[in-house]
Every structure is written in structure tokens, then in C-alpha cells.
Structure 1
Amino acid sequence: MSVEEAISNIPDEVLDYLVQQRQRERELTIEKDVLKERIKKLQNILKLLEGRDNGLTCTVSGGNIYQQSTVEQVRSSLLANLSISMVLFVKTHRQLVRLQQDLHQDYETVCDNASRIGTTN
């Protein structure tokens, strides 16, 4: 039995499940990359504030909105955002690793079953 015939014997539900899991893997990878970039950006901004007096005022902007704040308040806000982003990054990374392990196991099972079907026919 050829590989194509073995694959054609795999139920559609199993193939649909594997496709859905691959899509979820891509989504988690993108989410992880976005969080990684956010963490890098926050770290770079925090580096700009290193050695600055906490009482100094600074201007924070987002889009067309400008706000006066102190270095201490900005640093505190950035550290809170960094902490949240890191928690989300670790959570996403763990989900991704778990999903990849499950996918690897599922593929092994499907391949084993397909090869057994091929050898019995």
C-alpha cells in the first residue's frame, strides 16, 4: 500500500483535528512573537530611564495624546506592563510547547496506525 492510500484511510475527523491543532500552533507562535516584541520594547524604554532622578518630569505620548508624568510613575507603569507581558509570554510559551508535544504524539499515532493499516492489506 502506498503512502497516499494509507493517508486516504485516515478518517476526515482525524485530519481535521490535526489541521485545527496546526492552526492553533501558528496562532500561539504569532502571539508569542508579539509578546516578545512588546517585552523588548518595554525593556528598551526602561533603559532610557536608567539613572534618571525619580522626581524628574517627563512627557509621555501615545498617538496624539501627551501627558506629563514623573520618571517614577512612568517606570512603575512600565514595570507593571513588563510583568504582565512576561506572565502572558510564559503562559503562551507553555501552551505552545504542550500543543507541540501533543501534535508530535498525535502524528506518531496516526503514522503508526496508517502503517499498520498498510501492512494488513
Structure 2
Amino acid sequence: MRFKQQVLLKHDNGITAQWISEDWSCMAIATYYQQEKEGKSVDGEIVKYKTWALGNCSGPWTGISPDGKELTFISGYEKQHEKIASEASLILTCINAAVGGEKALNSIWSANKIGFDSSTFSSLNQ
């Protein structure tokens, strides 16, 4: 089973990436959310800033434990999981980049992008 990039969507609650299998039988998604962190400036002042985090990466390899409280890994989808998880990590690197993130994202994501443009991309981590 091979997956194709479907859409990368920036919305009010974060970012969602979606892949669909070539036979349209399965879907994979990665969701990203912003988290606020604290650090020190070069002047020693405490500053707050936001970064993106990968919240979930699910697909046909994702199952649910018998008690319904945990996600489990379904064997047989290792190749698909590796491909999607790798792309999801690359997306995370791009959206957190201080410089060149938009160009890098455009080089790895060839499907539709919604909610991303030059003016909003530079402010993703604001």
C-alpha cells in the first residue's frame, strides 16, 4: 500500500497533514499544535515563545487496546508508518524553522496547502 500526500491545512486549532492510499482505502494524518515555552533572551530576560509540536501521527497501523484507553501499533504497516512518520517529522522541522522553512516545506510537500502563504508562514511561530 502506497500513500500520496493529500492536503496540508493550517487552521484555528493547528495544522493537519493528510495522506491517502493510492487505492483510496486508507488515510493517514499528522496533527500539529502550538505550545508555549519560556527561555532567556541574550540580555538574561525571561521570554515566552511558541513552537509547533507533532501531536499525533495515525494511519492503518493505529489500533486501540482492548480496554479502549490506549493506541496500539498494528503490525504489517511498518513501511507505510516509516514513510508517513518521516514526512511528518520533516513538516515539523519546516514549520519550526526560523529561516527558510517555507521554501523547505514547498520542496517536500507537493499536494495542496491551505492556509499557508508568505505573510502567514513567517508568523507561524508568533
TM-score normalised per structure 1: 0.31
Return the index of the structure with the highest Cα Rg. 1
More strand by share: 2
More helix by share: 1
